[in-house]
Homo-oligomer: A and B are copies of this chain.
Amino acid sequence: MSDNSFGHLFRVTTWGESHGPAIGCVVDGCPPRIPLSEADIQPFLDRRRPGQSKFTTQRREADQVRILSGVFEGMTTGTPISLFIENTDQRSKDYGDIATRYRPGHADVTYDLKYGHRDYRGGGRSSARETACRVAAGAVARRVLDTLFPHSVLIRAALTRIGDIGIDPAAWNWDEVGRNPLFCPDAGTVPAWETLLGEIRKAGSSIGAVVEVRAEGVLPGLGAPVYGKLDADLAFALMGINGVKGVEIGDGFEVAGLRGEQNADPMRPDPMAPGGIAFDANHAGGVLGGISTGQPVVARFAIKPTSSILTEVASVDRARNAVAVATRGRHDPCVGIRAVPVAEAMMACVLADHALRHRGQIGAF
């Protein structure tokens, strides 16, 4: 058991605080002889990096990753891969007043209640900065999936809602996601989001969002009943992203309103489909009984507005005096934006783990 590790056969352990000297992770269980270099990881970190638009925190981090072990002559060796990212922009004065006052909606208070001592600089361990490690590990996971699966698994995420403004699903275009800084798959929605976020930022407020993540090319058989289900592991992985309060697989909460006939995904023989079976719908989101069907694995999650806002909210300090707290400093008005690459990384890690777990089966791919 380790509170800072996830995955079983593809196992990631992260460490580091927002304003310590560095953050990093150890990826254990990566198979040997997979080509890997920093160049395979850096682009994903660059996508998550803050300061790339006015809608994300202005903290400037190079987020330069170094591989310290587990790779030799350009290939993984099967030994643990240590990934290392220096913290370069820790203006710790920004955060000084939160040492003693708890920000409502933030983990300040619970860390103190649990541990009685915390690194309060920039949120310490509870900072979203930790997710850089997940993104780095996710890049390694993608290389594992590329190796194990005949056709690469395609893992992509997008922002589908900010506040009350959802995208038009009919206008979904994956190419669009990379063209705007909001990871929006619907070009028509971008201007409305920019207007909303501009207003939010000016007001010193923040706003919630919804992210959708999909994996195509996943072979059937991944996931293991009854406590190693693929969808349960995804729920764990996505609910564990900072600020997430809801997770859906496939039709998600919509299924509550459906009848059996509406929810069934009809099947037909298809020699070209994985397992020889094609599906005519995907209400299930690619998972039945906790095992992948071969259809796209589809998940969605809601992320709350960041608790760092300029409006004062009633709170307490460590000595249990009543105080009012407003948060100064650099923050994301919508943390959902930077959660998009994190969502992809978590999907990649969960799939790599389950691919390795399934691989041991007799007759598996």
Contact = CB atoms under 8 A, between A and B. Distances in A.
Interface stretch (A37-45, A50-58, A178-186, A235-243): A235-243
A260 B32 CA distance: 31
A246 interface: yes
A238 B231 CA distance: 10
Given A205-B259, A260-B206, A289-B111, A266 B313 contact: yes
Nearest to A275: B113
Contact of A236 (B126, B224, B233, B266): B233
A1 B4 contact: no
Given A1-B9, A13-B26, A114-B220, A239 B246 contact: no
Interface string A8-22: 110101111100111
Contacts of A15: 26, 28, 68-70, 79-82
Interface string A108-131: 011101111111010011100010
B363 A116 contact: yes
A33 interface: yes
Given A32-B115, A110-B287, 17 more contacts: A2-B228, A4-B226, A13-B28, A21-B66, A21-B68, A31-B362, A33-B363, A104-B264, A104-B267, A111-B289, A125-B225, A208-B255, A226-B240, A256-B336, A258-B305, A260-B305, A356-B360
Interface stretch (A149-157, A168-176, A187-195, A316-324): A316-324
A328 interface: no
A302 interface: yes
